[in-house]
A and B are shown apart, each in its own frame.
Chain A
């Protein structure tokens, strides 16, 4: 209580500023209000809507029990979207981690102009998703795709690929954008991990005589595991919840083959106007995200105490 010592007869306001109980609440309140307004209220609304017959045309609230869930379970598109969400997330996460690790190793290397390279590498992450996806939309264009053009002129393909017109290629295209967008973030997170390994430990591994691969798998990867897990968590959550990439590139097409939970919820709930069903679909994101977050955070804590 140093301020009390210097100003024993301060104003009531100053005395209030010395009371930790008051200060704690004053400091926390904005964050609490924010969380309640933008997280808790919408979440509560979504849960409430999922058990109602609210539509865009008829906003009156009537309890319908599990009817919305029964209907979405009957819909094959929902199951396709659920499956896709997992496939996109799993494949993107694996690629993000592997490529991010490679990129992180490049970023920590000492070379001329590494600051420029680090800056350029981060750009995909700093661009708004919608904007960069529009750019990709053009890259994947059925007629004018530059990727197509290069491959054709190299003689690797003869006809147009129609990236977004064929189910497998559309899936790969969506995953490619996710990976492109999230690898820089993962790389920077893992770079921090690599920079955090004590120099002595790295030097010891060099002196101990083991080669590059053993050093990587027995020393650097175990020591950066917490940050690799964090990178994986971010990659998974961003792909899992993202609807912009799918919605802008394919709108879930062709024939719903790239539909994911978030895009399907948007199409059913907002575009189709059936808010109750849309909310029910979107709710499926929650338990899965919760489970993923708990699993990965637990892994992080386990590793932290080695």
Chain B
């Protein structure tokens, strides 16, 4: 697997070292891979993307694109294309003008600049691919949010970049549009096959789009892996509680946290194989799009702790607030974290 983008031991500090935005990040994307940087606000994910783009210089460490070190090179020679959160369209240019703009500086393989007709046909190809051919004469202010986002993508696509860098491109869309745009983004990337680094704070986007997810917090990568792995096998308590809605339940017990996902806390008859039964004191129940979220506290696993159980529609056991029910968790679903470091640790016996 060739490596498209790689960062090695990257550090970035602002204000003469007082603020550390990035603290030693190592990452590498495969060719054509869709890598998502996921984390809360201020975790350094956008800074990392801007360093890859060349808009910021790292304080220490190396950035490699296509195998060569690009530290110190300006953005324009890095063969990258970036889509900004605000789309950053040029408001005084038409859609066509926006898409053509990057081509004006480009050199073809034979070293010549593309002429006007070549630029235009390339821009039309790009607009066609994103379904905005009918909008070419409009100005950005005449477009809807979804259309602007496509123009920004078309402008990024038109240069045949080695890497797409996307900085929360869906966050300015309304919730309904976001779901369809997410699907389109994924299909679009699969068609063009370009390596993509995608920054988001939205775990649904990350899970849905990424080949791999890098979960970031406080300038470091907490876990790097495919969505299922990050979800089912979190490396530490941060990842466990940042991903998942509602997040993973953590029950303290003798210097460790016992973790399990809300959907794995079920009435015993729905849990097969080795399992641990726990008394679940239900306080209240929420109905959310077919699922029932039961809030309450469990004992026996460790200290008495407030937890959430997510019961799919297929679980029909009658429940009511104020009652204590016998629930169970499959043993293989339990994760153990060291209470002081937060990292994963060896399983401990939690039997009754």
Q: Mark A residues whose CB is within 8 Å of B.
A: 198, 200-201, 203-211, 214, 218-219, 222-223, 306
Contact = CB atoms under 8 A, between A and B. Distances in A.
B101 A211 contact: no
Contacts of A223: 90-92
A306 B91 contact: yes
**SS class of chain A's interface: helix, strand, loop or mixed?**
helix
Contacts of B50: 203
B81 interface: yes
A203 B102 contact: no
A203 B105 contact: no
Interface string B77-95: 1001110111111111100
Given A208-B101, A209-B75, A306-B92, A203 B139 contact: no
A209 B76 contact: yes
A207 B82 contact: yes
A211 B76 CA distance: 8
A207 B74 CA distance: 8
Contacts of B75: 203, 206-207, 209
Interface string B270-298: 00000000000000000000000000000
Given A206-B74, A209-B75, A200 B101 contact: no
Contact of B106 (A206, A209, A306): A209
Given A207-B53, A209-B77, A210-B101, 20 more contacts: A203-B75, A204-B88, A204-B90, A206-B54, A207-B76, A208-B81, A208-B102, A208-B105, A208-B155, A208-B159, A209-B75, A209-B102, A209-B105, A209-B106, A210-B76, A214-B104, A218-B104, A223-B90, A223-B91, A306-B91
Contacts of A209: 75-77, 102, 105-106, 159
Interface string B82-123: 101111111111000000011011100000000000000000
A218 B84 contact: no
Contacts of A218: 90, 93, 101, 104
B315 interface: no
B55 interface: yes
Nearest to B140: A306
Contact of A198 (B86, B92, B141, B159): B86
Given A206-B75, A207-B53, A200 B104 contact: no
A200 B55 contact: no
30 contacts: A198-B86, A198-B88, A200-B85, A201-B90, A203-B50, A203-B84, A204-B82, A204-B90, A205-B90, A205-B101, A206-B54, A206-B74, A206-B75, A206-B76, A207-B54, A208-B101, A208-B105, A208-B155, A209-B105, A209-B159, A210-B76, A211-B105, A218-B93, A218-B104, A219-B90, A222-B90, A223-B91, A223-B92, A306-B92, A306-B139
